[in-house]
Amino acid sequence: MFKLSEIKELIKLVDQSTLQELEIESEGSRLFIRKPNKTESVIVAPAQVQPAYAPVLAHPRAEQPGTDALAAAPAPAAEKKAAADPNLHTIVSPMVGTFYQAPSPGAPAFVSKGDRVNEKTVVCIVEAMKLMNEIEAEVRGEIVEVLAENGQLVEYGQPLFLVKPE
C-alpha cells in the first residue's frame, strides 16, 4: 500500500518532469498517475482485482463508449459557477477521491444550501484509499451552492461548495 506522502512526492516529480504517465505496482497495489492537459489523475487500486483490459476506475461522467474516464476534467459548469462571483469563497477538494455529503448512507447531509458554517464545520467527506477525510469549511459564512454530487469522483482542486463569507 502506498503512503499518502509517497503519492504526493510522485505527483510532484511527474508534474515537474516531461513524463505524461507513471504506473507503479508494489505489494499488491497499483498506482497510476496521468498528466493530461496540465491536471493530474491518481488512481490506486489492488493490482490483483483489476484485469489488464479493464478500466482502472469507473467514472460517473464517462457516459459514452470510448470516453477516457481517467482524463476527465472537473465539471466545467462547476468551475464556471466558482469563478463567476469573486465575492464567494470556493471550498475545493484537497485530493482525488469520492465525494460524500453525509457521514453514512441514509444520514442527513453535513450541510445544504443556505446552511451557516464556521471554519471548523465539516461540510463533506472525501474518501481516498479507503480513508474517510473530513473536509472543513475553512471560512465563516453561508453555503450558497453544493457543486458536487454525492458519490461522485472528484479531482484535486475541484470546486465542491460556494460559500458567501461573513
Whether the CB-CB separation of 75 and 160 falls below 8 Å is answered with no
- Cα–Cα dist 124/150, whole Å: 9
Q: Which residue has better confidence, 120 or 16?
A: 120
- Cα–Cα dist 10/5, whole Å: 9
Mean pLDDT of the residues in the chain:
76
CA dihedral of residues 154, 125, 118, 80 (deg, nearest 10): 10
* Section 90-106 average pLDDT: 92
Q: Which residue has better confidence, 56 or 130?
A: 130
Q: Is the pLDDT of residue 50 over 60?
A: no
Q: What is the DSSP letter of 109?
A: P
The most confident of the ranges 2-6, 62-66, 69-73, 87-91 is 87-91
- pLDDT of 84 reads 61
Q: Is the pLDDT of residue 36 over 90?
A: no
Q: Is the pLDDT of residue 44 over 70?
A: no
Whether the CB-CB separation of 58 and 69 falls below 8 Å is answered with yes
pLDDT tens digits for range 134-151: 999 989 999 999 999 999
Query: Shortest CA distance to 140 belongs to which of 159, 160, 166, 158?
Result: 166
Q: 64 by DSSP, 3-state: which?
A: coil
Q: 96 by DSSP, 3-state: which?
A: coil
Q: Which residue has better confidence, 31 or 98?
A: 98
4-18, 41-55, 131-145, range with the lowest pLDDT: 41-55
Beta-bridged to residue 165, according to DSSP, are: 141
The most confident of the ranges 55-59, 84-88, 152-156 is 152-156
- pLDDT of 59 reads 45
* Section 87-111 average pLDDT: 92
Quick one: cell of 50? 483489476
Q: In what order do the strands lie in the sheet with 21-26?
A: 21-26, 29-34, 41-46
| Domains parsed from the chain with CATH numbers | 4-71 (no CATH), 76-165 (2.40.50.100)
